[in-house]
Amino acid sequence: MSNPRKIGFIGLGIMGRPMAKNLIKAGHSLTVYDIVPAALDELRAAGAAIASSNREVAEKTDLIITMLPNSPHVKTAILGEGGVLEGIRPGSVIVDMSSIAPLASQEIEPEVRKKGAAMLDAPVSGGEPKAVEGTLAIMVGGDEGVFNSVKDVLLSMGSSAVYTGPIGSGNVTKLANQIIVALNIAAMSEALVLATKAGVDPEGVYNAIRGGLAGSTVLDAKAPMVLAGNFKPGFRIELHIKDLQNALDTAHELSAPIPLTSAVMEIMQALKADGLEKNDHSAIARFYEKLAGVEVRKVEKV
């Protein structure tokens, strides 16, 4: 167990709520803020103190965690009016666990440093289930000494916290993760739709290949969902679109072509056009199902 800390937590969405609760379970004193009253009520019931602004969170804590949808939200929370930097004290640490553009992290960090504070970018992988379990994979950029000073806190929310390099490196690592996950789901979907169209039981195909080279964490997490026709989100298509847009923007700035990412982005855009953006990203399979005129589903044994 980590040493008890006074921690601020900003952003109590689908990921932030369970992450904040795990910090409370680990014995930390938590002050939270969100613009959604119901989220604040839920954390109050779990034992957190409620702040009236981002600034107040910073005034009352020395480690401030942000978990917000995208770059503009993080910039507003930290740099904006009533933001974290208006209340932050020298020696404090901001850990932004949002998945945002690496360039945004690199723009915010010097402003944090001017206040005598430090900032890490520490996005996560694992979706809501692993946020609830406290087994997220956390990838961290920034000063390595600062990382080491908060690593025990991060491990209250994740099963791993890995230092990846200077500020922005955490989000570059997350973009790499999101590219691999998206392309894995697309490849799985193509394969299972092909099997279904050929009259082969897709569950049998999944069970046959999962132990071989084609097996992966993604396959084991997403194939059962598709076979059950369960597209309830652990990670919504609209959020993966956001991440892939950040990947494409970053890649274009660096002149690093990522053509397969562009292709799967267009698949997700087609699903969004069909009104499926709130589905889990396993619903990439529905794009292929529509093209082939079949559904990949578990065959009920008689």
Residues contacting residue 105 through CB under 8 Å, at least 6 positions apart: 96, 119, 121, 141, 167, 168, 170, 171
CA separation for the pair 135, 155 (Å, rounded): 8
The backbone region for 165, taken as left when phi is positive above 0, alpha when psi lies in -120 to 50, beta otherwise, is left
Q: Spell out where the chain has E strands.
A: 6-10, 29-33, 49-50, 63-66, 93-96, 118-121, 124-125, 136-141, 158-165
Catalytic residues: 174
Tabulate helix, strand, coil % of the chain (nearest 5): 55, 15, 30
CA separation for the pair 153, 209 (Å, rounded): 38
